[in-house]
Structure formats: C-alpha cells, structure tokens
Amino acid sequence: MRYRHAGQEGFGVLAGNTIHEWRGDMFGECEASGTIIALAEVQPLTPTRPSKVIALWNNFKALGEKLSLAVPEEPLYLLKTPNSYLPHGAPIRAPRCAGKVVYEGELGIVIGKTASGVAEEDALSHVFGYTCANDVTVADILNRDASFAQWVRAKGFDTFCPMGPVVATGLDPAQLRVVTRLNGDVRQDYPISDMRFSVAQLVSLISMDMTLLPGDVILCGTSVGVGSMKPQSHVEVEIAGIGCLANPFAPAGLEQGPAATDINYLEPP
C-alpha cells in the first residue's frame, strides 16, 4: 500500500496492523528498508499513481441482461480523470450541480509492466495485482443531452474514483466477489467470474488501443445493485483477499474530511 507518514510519501507491505516499508520503484527495483510502521500512524494514499484509469461499461452478464443491453463484441470503456482519484478513508464530495449520485463497486486491475499490443496469453504477466474501486457517477447527467452521452463528465467529478486500500498480488480474479455496502447494508454481492471479458482479455484488447503504463488501473465494470447515496452516508467496497475500501459521502464544498486514521475500516487481506 501507499501512504503518507511524517510528511513523506512511501509504500510498503501491509502485515496485520503494521506496514513493512520498502524503498525504490514499486514496479521496478525495490527492497525492504527494515522499517516497520504502525498502520494507525499513516494516512492511506491511492494504491498507485495512475496515468489513467479505464472504466468498463456493460462487462457483467447479470447487469447487461437486466438492462436488456446488447452483448458487446469488444470492451466498451471510458476514462476517469486524475482529479477524481481518491484514497481509502477520504470523503467523496457531492458535486456542486444537482443530480443523483450513485456508487458502483468494482474490481480494479493494476498494471505492473508496460503493455502495448500484448497477446491475450501474455497479458497476465503485465498485471501487478488488484484493488477495490468505486466508480462514482452522477447518473442523470449521462443522457441529459440527447445528442451526446456525457460519460466523462458524469464520472469525472472531483473525488469520484476512490481506490484502495491496497494492491493485492497472487490472486485469481475469477475466484473473487465484490461486496458493496451502503451504511452497513449490502447492496451489491457479485462474482467476477460473471465478466463478459476476462482480465487477460481486457488487458490485451485495451493494450491494442493504447499503451498501458505501470500503475494504470482498469476498472472491470459493475453488476446489479447499483444505487444512489445521500450526503452523510458511508459506502464500502470489499473484496476478500484485497480488503475494504471505505469512504464517507460528504456535502458539496467540503474540502477536507476526517483523517483516514479516524475511520477504522481498513481490513488487511
């Protein structure tokens, strides 16, 4: 996980309630420093610094069938803008405009090695690990203009892409489930195995369009159970083996929320 400690940014391996610090390049040469830091002493940061976050649409069979969507022949995706990136524990801010804000719990694929035009059989070698994500959206902006679907605006507001709390390695994504809770109530509980395009297919096919860089994140899309949330609520996206991403939903105009260490939602893998 990445964090800020004593005014400095760092990364390390989470082990229970402690972090074993590493130094160097998370995706290149690095080594353990020997320093151990208490988890309670750090402020979580986004798990990587992505050059881009790619978000999938209509990638789960259950939701596509519920919405009567045609089966896509290729991945359908958009980009989440850097101003939307948000770490675990920090507040999602309501937009200044009116609209229904919805949560979308998702699995995030973290790229670890530059991928450009990679074959499907080689794609997983470019994956570093996986994280939790919340593809927050102002739903009623999407089709407000009949001539232009406003995907980027609806999903690109400040703080609208929470990610974290960690990147977990060595997982089989086909065995994972995404659970989203709003104020403690389960709203989504779906298997990653229901994806139309597998992790390997997503990495390969998207890399045919654009170069994926270390730290980039692909959000796999969401499934049934998406719903609206109101300010003062809490939303959690949990994936066993990765942890629990938790963020309060704050009123518009709030620049700073409670410190991440004041919100005891971080559940180690």
Pick the closest to residue 136 from 240, 4, 250, 261 (CA basis): 250
Top CATH class of 48-262 equals: alpha beta
What pLDDT is recorded for position 253?
63
**How large a percentage of the chain has pLDDT more than 70?**
94
Q: What would the pLDDT profile of 104-156 be if each residue is shown by its tens digit?
A: 999 999 999 999 999 999 999 999 999 999 999 999 999 999 999 999 999 99
Q: What does pTM read for this prediction?
A: 0.92
DSSP 265: -
Tens digit of each residue's pLDDT (9 = 90 or more) over 50-60: 999 999 999 99
What rounded mean pLDDT belongs to the chain?
A: 93
Under the banding of pLDDT at 50, 70 and 90, the label for residue 252 is confident
Q: What residues does each domain of the chain span?
A: 1-45, 48-262
Per-residue pLDDT tens over the stretch 156-187: 999 999 999 999 999 999 999 999 999 999 99
Residue 148's CB is within 10 A of a number of other CB atoms, namely 9
> pLDDT tens, 31-89?
999 999 999 999 999 999 999 999 999 999 999 999 999 999 999 999 999 999 999 99
The DSSP output letter for 95 is P
**Contact at 8 Å (CB) between 45 and 4?**
yes
Q: Give the span between the Cα atoms of 33 and 68, in whole angstroms.
A: 53
